[in-house]
């Protein structure tokens, strides 16, 4: 399923992703699960994916918080977790710390 974002929505999600990376850098927080790459790019990509899922399901999106570990879910009220990738052949990867009582979406 394709979820088109308007230019304004895309710009908003991009600002959110960049803000997340700035916050992490200021706090000395490193990317999880051995990610190697441009951390700002991955945060922007993640924010865009979350924004798209939020729009598709008409659910609220948790944009930015300095206490991200307290967030129950990316989208909705503690229900949906979003992982995103630019790869068309990617698969959803779950880690041991991921809550198996939540719904996980790859976009």
Burial tier of 39 (Cβ tally within 10 Å: 0-12, 13-18, 19+): middle
Measured between alpha carbons, how far is 61 from 81 in angstroms, rounded to an integer?
10
Q: What are phi and psi of 4, to 5 degrees?
A: -75, 135
**Can you give the pLDDT at residue 30?**
76
Angle at 101 between CA 46 and CA 37, to 5 degrees: 25
Per-residue pLDDT of the chain (107 residues; tens, 9 = 90+): 889 999 999 999 999 999 988 988 888 887 776 677 788 998 999 999 999 999 999 998 877 666 656 667 788 877 788 998 888 898 898 888 888 888 899 98
**Can you give the pLDDT at residue 69?**
62
**Can you give the pLDDT at residue 18?**
93
**Can you give the pLDDT at residue 47?**
93
Beta bridge partners of 82: 105
Q: What is the Cβ-side half-sphere exposure of residue 68, based on CA atoms within 13 angstroms?
A: 14
**Can you give the pLDDT at residue 70?**
63
């Amino acid at each position: 399923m394709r979820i088109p974002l308007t230019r304004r929505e895309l710009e908003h999600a991009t600002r959110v992703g960049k803000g997340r990376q700035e916050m992490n850098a200021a706090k000395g927080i490193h990317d999880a699960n051995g990610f190697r790459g441009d951390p700002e790019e991955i945060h922007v990509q993640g924010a865009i994916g979350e924004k798209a899922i939020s729009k598709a399901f008409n659910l609220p999106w948790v944009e930015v918080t300095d206490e991200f570990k307290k967030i129950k879910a990316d989208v909705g009220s503690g229900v949906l977790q979003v992982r995103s990738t630019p790869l068309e052949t990617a698969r959803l990867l779950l880690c041991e710390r991921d809550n198996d009582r939540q719904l996980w979406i790859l976009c």
